[in-house]
């Protein structure tokens, strides 16, 4: 049985690659992430295909531009029917509010379910050294909490953040705020290029709402078995 707290990242660049993953996982997965690599290569048909398969869609395009441009961008994306859409918190409160207003207005006009907006806080590829090199003044965790609070105040539905910050975000933003965490690595998987990582159970215990997992599943010799092991661990934490 699929657990919709698990989102599998489709980190491929072709429809055939995506279809192979979705077919190999079958009914064991109900939620997929379409990111820049796949969406820029294949466009809207990626979302339509997943919907035809009865799957939920996390459209992770990390919009970041002036408020008017991002507002028009999310308005255009609303018609696709994705369940989750991302933009960068670093765009600021005016940009985030413009996006939230645009999504609400567009969904009402189109008569479709409103996609939930998530603000990307600090990418999980950052460690302290890389963060300092970019001019980060606050510690990473402090900056993540600051951005999460700002996202909530600006009308977003949640954030994308490292599992290491999930507990602090939950405490700061309350029980209904959506926290989606990449950087999930079960015990059987390599860490790859992720720096701030956690196991599935630990992330959920700390307050994460949904977990994004890519290579530990999609590059596994037995992908469905990898999903089974992850869900088994997830189910030790009550929904």
Show which residues are catalytic. 62
DSSP one-letter string for 5-54: TEEEE---SSHHHHHHHHHHHGGG--EEEEEHHHHHHHTTHHHHHHHHTT
Q: Strand 158-160 to strand 6-9: parallel, antiparallel, or no bridges (unpaired)?
A: unpaired
Closest CA to 33 of 95, 91, 97, 118: 118
Question: Quick one: tokens of 36?
Answer: 């820049």
Number of other CB atoms surrounding residue 68 within 10 Å: 12
Pairwise CA distance, residues 8 & 225, whole Å:
14
């Amino acid at each position: 049985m699929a657990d919709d707290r698990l989102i599998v990242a489709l980190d491929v660049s072709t429809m055939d690659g995506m279809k192979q993953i979705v077919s190999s996982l079958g009914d064991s997965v109900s939620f997929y992430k379409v990111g820049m690599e796949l969406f820029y290569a294949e466009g809207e048909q990626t979302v339509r295909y997943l919907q035809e398969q009865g799957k939920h869609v996390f459209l992770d395009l990390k919009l970041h531009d002036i408020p008017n441009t991002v507002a028009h961008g999310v308005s255009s994306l609303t018609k696709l029917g994705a369940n989750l859409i991302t933009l960068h918190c670093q765009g600021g409160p005016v940009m985030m509010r413009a996006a939230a207003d645009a999504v609400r207005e567009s969904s009402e006009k189109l008569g479709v379910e409103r996609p939930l907006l998530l603000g990307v806080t600090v990418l999980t590829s950052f460690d302290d050294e890389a963060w300092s090199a970019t001019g980060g003044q606050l510690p990473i965790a402090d900056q993540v909490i600051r951005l999460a609070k700002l996202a909530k105040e600006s009308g977003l539905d949640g954030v994308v953040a490292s599992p290491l910050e999930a507990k602090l975000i939950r405490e700061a933003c309350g029980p209904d705020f959506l926290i989606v965490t990449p950087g999930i690595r079960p015990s059987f998987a390599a860490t790859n290029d992720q720096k701030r990582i956690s196991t599935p159970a630990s992330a959920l215990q700390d307050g994460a709402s949904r977990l994004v997992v890519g290579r530990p599943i999609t590059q596994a010799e037995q992908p469905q078995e990898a999903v089974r092991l992850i869900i088994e661990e997830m189910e030790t934490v009550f929904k």
